[in-house]
Amino acid sequence: MKGIILLSGLIAFTGAAYAETAEEKGLAIAVEADKRDQGWGDQATVMKMTLRNSQGAESTREIRGKTLEVDGDGDKSLTIFDTPRDVKGTAFLSFTHTLKADEQWLYLPALKRVKRISSSNKSGPFMGSEFAYEDISSQEVAKYKYKFIKEDKYNGRDVFVLEQYPQYKKSGYTKQIAWIDKEMYQPLKIEFYDRKRSLLKTLTQHEYKKHLDKYWRPARLEMVNHQTGKSTTLLWKSYKFKNGFRERDFDRNSLKRAK
């Protein structure tokens, strides 16, 4: 990500000399958002996911996550499932990359088997939810092309409205429209447009809190699928930073002892 920081400096410098295009301004906002969210190191989270079908019937999943920030590439993460009980102990290890394929392993506790799985199913649902794998994987500047649309107000807050176009292979989206809070440089809302260019889902991010006096994290995410009527709520019970995680906490051996 260092290259991107340099690039952002360049844009800020040259920006004064001539009028920015909408694409340049969009990229500059994405770069600034990325820059502000660097240096957090690692985080441990406890989450609860609630899935709702179109009739309103609910099912829940409790998940713990560990993430290690990787300089110059996508993050490494380990996700452990506590409920539903039949998948308790199932663990998912992911090394994300900006443009080349992510590396993913799944640990199946009943068979004690670590399976390398394909990461090309980016648009597939995560744990049967309305979140696709590409929605929850680490967001890197180079994953999209950007276009600034306008400045606006959203829920009484000043926002930038951006369009972002996925540049990685196998995305389920042709376009996303993001409402980025001007103070936090974090999205308040994202609309997802499917391969047929029609509105598929809307994500809203709520209850932002500042951690380590610098990093904004939402405590609640709401994803609504407009085509199926299903929705998913992702609730963070806790965020913990500065855990001292190392690469060793994100190797294939760590999968087998993730309880």
Partner 1 sequence: MKNYFSVFSLAFFICVSPVLANEWSGNVSLEVRKFSEQGISSSQKKQYGSISVQPEWFHDWDDGKQSLTFVPFYRWDQHDDERTYSDIRELSWLKVFDESELRVGFRKVFWGVSESQHLVDIINQSDLVEGIDGEEKLGQPMINYALINDWGTVDLFVLPYFRERTFPGINGRLRSALNVDTNNPIYESDDKEKHVDYAARWSHSLGDWDIGLSYFDGTSRAPSFTTAVDSNGITTLRPVYNLLQQTGLDLQATLDAWLWKVEVVNRKIKGEHYNAATLGFEYSFYGVFDSSSDLGLVLEYLYDDRDKKASTPFEDDVMTGLRLTMNDENDTSMLVGVIADRDDSSRLYSVEASRRIGESYKLTAEARIFEGFTDSANPLYSLRKDDFVELELAYYF
**Residues that bind partner 1 in the complex, under the rule CB under 8 A:** 51, 53, 59-60, 83-88, 101, 103, 111-114, 116-121, 123-125, 128-129, 170, 172, 248, 251-253, 257, 259
Residue 144, CA atoms < 13 Å, CB-side half-sphere: 28
Is the Cβ of residue 1 or residue 93 nearer to partner 1 in the bound state? 93
Letter string b/e over residues 199-208, b meaning 16 or more CB atoms within 10 A of that residue's CB: ebbbbbbeee
Is the Cβ of residue 156 or residue 244 nearer to partner 1 in the bound state? 244
CB of 184 to partner 1, least distance (A): 32
CB of 211 to partner 1, least distance (A): 22
Q: Which two tokens stand for residue 10?
A: 């360049």
Is the Cβ of residue 204 or residue 243 nearer to partner 1 in the bound state? 243
CB of 77 to partner 1, least distance (A): 16
Show Cβ contacts of residue 36 under 8 Å, excluding neighbours closer than 6 positions: 185, 214
CB of 107 to partner 1, least distance (A): 10
Show Cβ contacts of residue 96 under 8 Å, excluding neighbours closer than 6 positions: 73, 74, 75, 76, 77, 102, 137, 138, 140
Is the Cβ of residue 9 or residue 124 nearer to partner 1 in the bound state? 124
